[in-house]
A and B are shown apart, each in its own frame.
Chain A
Amino acid sequence: MAKYHTFTLFSDFEEAFGALADIRVHKIPGISIDDVTLQSPIEHPEIEEVLGDRPVHVQKFTFFGALFGVTFGFFFLAAAQASFLAQPQGGKPIIPLPSNFVLMYEMLIFFGVWTTVFAFIFLAGLVRKRGPIYSEQVNVDQIAVIIDVDEKNLDALKKLFTKHKALEIREEKLP
């Protein structure tokens, strides 16, 4: 049975959320809220009410990045100070912890930041191939709901959306 990729634009956010709320309560059998992707010009914390809590994992990468930074920092500095040409300075230890802490701290942040960034690019699914249908309006003032549905549910879905004052519904047969 053929699958369709649907792309529906709303100008009224409340209606869009309404539609999603309906999907969530299985108004249309066979369509789960988990299939829904929402595109919007701004961030909508409150839609988790309807979309359900979808997990975010960036912070774990951050944590380990930072952890790596600080431990690497310590060993790197100690190694540089003691394993190569020692730099004896009057009345000072070769591995001066207090001043090394400063640099370990900087390294913690440095690695923390970069792992976060890369984790973000990876987890947010950036720089990868996108679906075919896209409207610039989602970056202006409209909100888009994207669902892949079986042919049999298509009409029901359209009905639901039109009921919720969808501006336009685009669909495309998936290979």
Chain B
Amino acid sequence: MSFKNILENWSAFRKDAEAGGHHKYDHRWGMAINLDVCTGCNACSTACYAENNLAVVGKDRFEKGQAMHWMRIERYWDDADRQFPERGASFLPMMCQQCGAATCEPVCPVAATYHTPDGLNAQVYNRCIGSRYCSNNCPFRVRYFNFYSYYETWAEPLNQQLNPDISVRDKGVMEKCTFCVQRIRASNDKAKMENRAIADGEVQTACAQACPTGAIVFGDTMDPNSAVNKLWAKHEVKRGDYLSKKPKVNAEKRGYRIFEELNVDPSVMYLERVREEI
């Protein structure tokens, strides 16, 4: 350590929210989820279980509220007061929004969750001591805690299905959606080996890959040609500070980010659900 280092980089170290914090992003992975074609079929959720070694908690623990679905489909009734829900149900795929100014990060006493150069909220399982403050401070409530040693519940030979690319979490550790970081890293390395940039669509999260209606689009929002970036641009959703941002040119564009007013800068854009008047 050297104070010289600190003094030299002082300005960099002091770069704050308006300047996007201390970051030189090389990617910013993001999503666009089209709620108009999301049918709430749960394919994404199950794909997530298969990809990320999620624990099945069983009926009693589910009842206690200790279930571990990183990707969950929330179902709301907008016509609960009418005689019939005549506009169907409202389905919302909800996973970690990988916020640009995540509220979970600063509160972790041991910095087990931090911001990666490709714009993800990394959760370092090995560093986590389970204070669970991050979950308390997450407006989306998408962080899941290992209340038990769930790996003990994988009956032989179910455990042979576990994905060796990522760890199986032990009790006392917080976990959450990682945007399938193991896939991102794999493609990263591959691209490096062939020294080229990652092509758009080369990395697919498990949920995006499974989604039968293609409602979930995943990609690098910094890559101007990526499908996801085009969608963000088309629907006039910009990253960054809510307050300093200009309003949409066309307010009717469908893109929005949930709890935008909290200014956490989520990496997931949702497209409004459309309904015909019959």
Q: Which of B1-53 contact A (CB under 8 A)?
A: 1-3, 5-6, 9-10, 12-17, 20-23
The residue on A at minimum CB distance from B120 is A90
Are A92 and B2 touching (Cβ within 8 A)? no
Residues of B within 8 A of A84 (CB): 1
Are A90 and B115 touching (Cβ within 8 A)? yes
Q: A78-B6, A82-B5 are in contact. Are A89 and B114 (CB under 8 A)?
A: yes
Are A92 and B14 touching (Cβ within 8 A)? no
Residues of A within 8 A of B1 (CB): 79, 83-84
**Quick one: which of A90, A93, A99 contacts B14, CB cutoff 8 A?**
A93
CA distance A86 to B1 in the complex (A): 12
Are A90 and B3 touching (Cβ within 8 A)? no
Are A95 and B14 touching (Cβ within 8 A)? yes
Are B16 and A91 touching (Cβ within 8 A)? yes
**Quick one: which of B2, B5, B6, B99 contacts A90, CB cutoff 8 A?**
B99
Residues of B within 8 A of A78 (CB): 3, 6, 13
Residues of B within 8 A of A32 (CB): none
Q: How many residues of A contact B (CB 8 A)?
A: 20
**Quick one: which of A82, A92, A99 contacts B21, CB cutoff 8 A?**
A92
CA distance A83 to B3 in the complex (A): 8
Main secondary structure of the interface of A (DSSP, over half): loop
Are B23 and A88 touching (Cβ within 8 A)? yes
The residue on B at minimum CB distance from A78 is B6
Would you give the shortest CB distance from A69 to chain B, in whole angstroms?
18
Q: Digit string of A25-55 for contact with B (CB within 8 Å is 1, else 0)?
A: 0000000000000000000000000000000
A interface residues, Cβ below 8 angstroms from B: 75, 78-79, 81-84, 86-97, 99
Known: A91-B21, A91-B101. 12 other contacts (CB 8 A): A82-B5, A82-B9, A83-B3, A87-B111, A88-B114, A89-B111, A89-B114, A90-B23, A90-B100, A91-B16, A92-B22, A92-B105
Q: What are 27 A-B residue pairs whose CB atoms fall within 8 Å in the complex? A: A75-B3, A78-B6, A78-B13, A82-B5, A83-B1, A83-B2, A83-B3, A84-B1, A86-B22, A88-B116, A90-B23, A90-B101, A90-B105, A90-B121, A91-B16, A91-B21, A91-B101, A91-B265, A92-B105, A93-B13, A93-B14, A93-B21, A94-B22, A95-B6, A95-B13, A95-B14, A99-B106
